[in-house]
């Protein structure tokens, strides 16, 4: 639940632009993703904007920012569709976020800290990224990675003979 905190923090530290788009190794941005999110951010005068993303390609499930509004009071979706001002992104991902609340990955932790600091948010109801199924599995993202690892582990005797 804290995977990716180190490369994200390092990437932000080396970034030079005004905006940061969080992209993980299992995310695929649609061609107009940054353009759509940046347009909304500038028009709304906000520091963070998110769009929808689609998990899976075979049986796709769309996730929209309105889902985050129920829990946080702000429209937010996960990192596959999240653009932030670089000074907001420099808040760093917390590798110890798992110890603060049960079942809270580092993106929720970062978002909660942004809310407390008064970061202004907006969203668009457009799909801007996808998370395809992990190769050899039927699931995208973390769930697919776990399934792939489980399948590989079942094929490799432990300890090696």
Tell which residue, 75, 121, 112, 70, has the closest CA to residue 93.
112
CATH class of the region 5-133: alpha beta
| pLDDT reported for residue 157 | 58
Does pLDDT of 40 surpass 90?
yes
Domain residue limits, the chain: 5-133
| pLDDT reported for residue 2 | 46
| pLDDT reported for residue 42 | 96
Residue 79: Cβ-neighbour burial (10 angstroms; 0-12, 13-18, 19+): buried
| pLDDT reported for residue 12 | 77
pTM of the model: 0.73
What is the pLDDT averaged over residues 41-57?
90
């Amino acid at each position: 639940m804290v995977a990716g905190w180190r490369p994200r923090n390092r990437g932000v530290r080396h970034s030079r632009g005004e905006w940061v788009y969080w992209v993980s190794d299992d995310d695929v941005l649609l061609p107009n993703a940054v353009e759509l999110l940046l347009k909304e951010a500038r028009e709304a005068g906000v520091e963070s904007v998110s769009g929808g993303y689609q998990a899976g390609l075979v049986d796709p499930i769309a996730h929209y920012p309105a889902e985050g509004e129920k829990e946080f009071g702000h429209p937010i979706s996960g990192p596959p569709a999240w653009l932030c001002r670089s000074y907001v992104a420099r808040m760093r991902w917390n590798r110890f976020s798992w110890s603060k609340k049960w079942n809270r990955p580092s993106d929720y932790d970062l978002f909660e800290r942004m809310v407390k600091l008064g970061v202004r948010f907006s969203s668009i109801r457009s799909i801007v990224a996808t998370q395809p199924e992990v190769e050899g599995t039927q699931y995208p993202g973390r769930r697919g990675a776990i399934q792939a690892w489980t399948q590989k582990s079942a094929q490799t005797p432990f300890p090696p003979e």
